[in-house]
Chains A and B, each alone.
Chain A
Amino acid sequence: MGESKDGVKGKRVVFVTVGTTCFDALVKVVDSQEVKDELLRRGYTNLLIQMGRGSYLPTKSSGDDGSLAVDYFTFSSSIADHLRSASLVISHAGSGSIFETLQLGKPLIVVVNEDLMDNHQSELAEKLAERRHLYCARPPTLCQTIASMDLKSLVPYSPGDATPVAKLINRWFSIHHFSDWHAIATAKSAQLVRKYDQPFILSGDNKEWKSLLRPLMID
């Protein structure tokens, strides 16, 4: 990652985020000696914790003595910069944090909060872990996950696409793009020429046009 200010080469930051929630279990386990030692072993130099509404305060450390440098803060208006400068992200299972991290192409461990009632968030984390876009863990298993993870085996996440929804909404109101019209018109004229064996002028009033339009509108 290049030189940092104090001249140490290859600063590798682990960024931990809990979003707007309170997730003391994660902050505690990340601050534990076990996990910090494991992160050091895996080559990380800095640990930055965004602790949100939690009440557990981690122990700050400058890392001068070769140990992991630890710092924390509660909130920030945008964690994008922190995500960008991280080598590893450990996040709660909120969809906003997950996708913001995946879209930046950062390796991600999602930790599911077992104290939440009706934990639907774990469904998303497990699904994405199934597709190998991230690692999924619980606070007790985080250390083990860090020890055994192989970040090179993670599959990059390709961003989603909202245009299918927009298209369906447009069609609801009979709004078509030019490309739709062109395709429809070309197919339509070919069809009608075959049917009536003569050139056919298409107009909005044409019943044939309307009735045959429907099947062409479906992807």
Chain B
Amino acid sequence: MEKNTSRFFSNFSLGITCLIAFITLILLRVVYVIYRSGKPLNRRSPPQAIATLIVLGSGGHTAEMINLLLVLQKDRFTPRFYIAAATDNMSLQKARVLETSRADSQSGVEGISAEFMQIYRSREVGQSYVTSVWTTLVATVHALWLMIKIRPQVVLCNGPGTCFPLCVIAFIFKVVGIRWSSIFYVESIARVKRLSLSGLLLYKLQIADQFFVQWPELQRKYPRAHYVGCLM
């Protein structure tokens, strides 16, 4: 009996040691990813086609994002994947209009350079926080599914709640080694003195590689952010 008990305990302590070692490795990897994410990619020559995920949000969010996309080189940042919340009807429509109008100006375009997808929302405006737990879980699983399909190299977002699970998953992909992506977050122009919840989380957890703000007060408050002036 005693032999069995002692073997059990030695196996148990071995298991615990392995678990601790494993967790430590993951934490070290996370620290390394955060450290490495803060620096530009060290490349000899710029990449030719950067798969880009663009997260759209209702109202002003999409308008601001479109403003940014107009000045982003579309032949470099391609293919483009647009994601909007399932209950948001206007955003994908506006994105389609943008893509069609830009495709017209270029002749001989082959292949599909843009795809449009919808994602379940973590939380609707005014939804109770209790039911939000379940809907956030569903949204996260859906986000995981979409991210595995897309595996973007760049994530562009500007604030809607839908972007947070997507950014977290992109970060996890970096830690686990599925895909190294650069996450760029532009805080909305409507945020003058305080960050939005998504922005605050992405800033504090250092998930975003580059964090842009449009008003100088925010840059003073959050020094790791870049002040880029008004986009609209």
- B-binding residues in A (CB < 8 A): 19-20, 94-96, 99-100, 103, 120-121, 123-124, 126-127, 159-166, 168-176, 204
Q: Which of B75-134 contact A (CB under 8 A)?
A: 76
State the Cβ distance, A166 to closest chain B Cβ, in Å.
Answer: 4
CA distance in complex: A204, B44 (Å): 8
CA distance A165 to B71 in the complex (A): 9
Interface residues of chain B: helix, strand, loop or mixed (majority): loop
State the CA gap A127–B67 with chains docked (Å): 21
Taking the complex as formed, is B177 at the interface, i.e. its CB lies under 8 A from any CB of chain A? no
Q: Can you list 20 contacts pairing A with B, beta carbon distance less than 8 Å?
A: A20-B59, A95-B232, A96-B63, A99-B232, A103-B232, A120-B190, A160-B232, A161-B229, A162-B70, A164-B228, A165-B212, A166-B71, A168-B226, A169-B154, A172-B209, A174-B40, A174-B41, A174-B43, A175-B73, A175-B76
Whether A169 contacts B232 by the Cβ 8 Å rule is: no
Write the residues of chain B forming the contact surface with A, with a CB cutoff of 8 angstroms. Answer: 40-41, 43-47, 50, 58-60, 63-64, 67-68, 70-73, 76, 154, 182, 184, 186, 188-194, 196, 209-210, 212, 214-215, 226, 228-232
20 further A-B pairs in the complex, CB-CB below 8 A; given A123-B193, A174-B43: A94-B59, A95-B59, A99-B60, A99-B189, A99-B232, A120-B196, A123-B190, A162-B67, A165-B186, A165-B212, A166-B68, A166-B71, A166-B72, A166-B73, A171-B40, A172-B209, A173-B46, A173-B50, A173-B76, A174-B46
Q: Which residues of A contact B47 (CB under 8 A)?
A: 173
In angstroms, Cα B214 to Cα A124, docked, is: 11
Q: How far is the CA of A175 from the CA of B75 in the complex (A)?
A: 12
Expressed in whole angstroms, the minimum distance between the Cβ of B42 and any Cβ of chain A is 8
- Which residues of B sit under 8 angstroms from A170, Cβ to Cβ? 73, 76
Nearest CB of chain A from residue B118's CB, rounded to whole Å: 18
Q: Name the residue of chain B whose CB is nearest to the CB of A99.
A: B232
Contact of A124 with B192 in the complex, beta carbons under 8 Å? yes
Give the residue among A100, A126, A164 with the most B Cβ atoms within 10 A: A164
Report A-chain residues with C-beta under 8 Å of the C-beta of B194.
Answer: 120, 123
In the complex, chain B residues whose CB is within 8 Å of the CB of A171 = 40
- Which B residues are CB-close (under 8 A) to A126? 192
- Cβ-closest chain A residue relative to B193: A123
**For B196, what are the chain A residues with a Cβ–Cβ distance below 8 Å?**
120
Complex: A190 Cα to B80 Cα, angstroms: 40
CA distance A123 to B189 in the complex (A): 10
> Is there contact, CB below 8 Å, between B46 and A175?
yes
CA of A171 to CA of B182, assembled, Å: 12
Which B residues are CB-close (under 8 A) to A103?
Answer: 232
Write out the residue numbers on chain A whose beta carbons fall within 8 Å of the beta carbon of B186.
165
Contact B209 A162 (CB under 8 A): no
- Determine the residue in chain B with the shortest Cβ distance to A117: B126
A168 to B64, CA, bound (A): 17
Q: Are B59 and A164 in contact (CB under 8 A)?
A: no
User: Across the two chains, which residue of chain A brings its CB closest to B67?
Assistant: A162
Q: Give Cα A12 to B72, complex, Å.
A: 40
The answer on a CB contact under 8 Å between B60 and A168 is: no
With a CB–CB cut-off of 8 A, which chain A residues contact B212?
165, 168
In the bound complex, residues from chain A placing their C-beta under 8 Å from that of B43 are: 173-174
Q: Which of B40, B41, B58, B64 contacts A20 (CB under 8 A)?
A: B58
| A172 neighbours in B (Cβ, 8 Å) | 40-41, 182, 184, 209-210
- A-chain residues with CB within 8 Å of residue B71 when the two chains form the complex: 162-163, 165-166
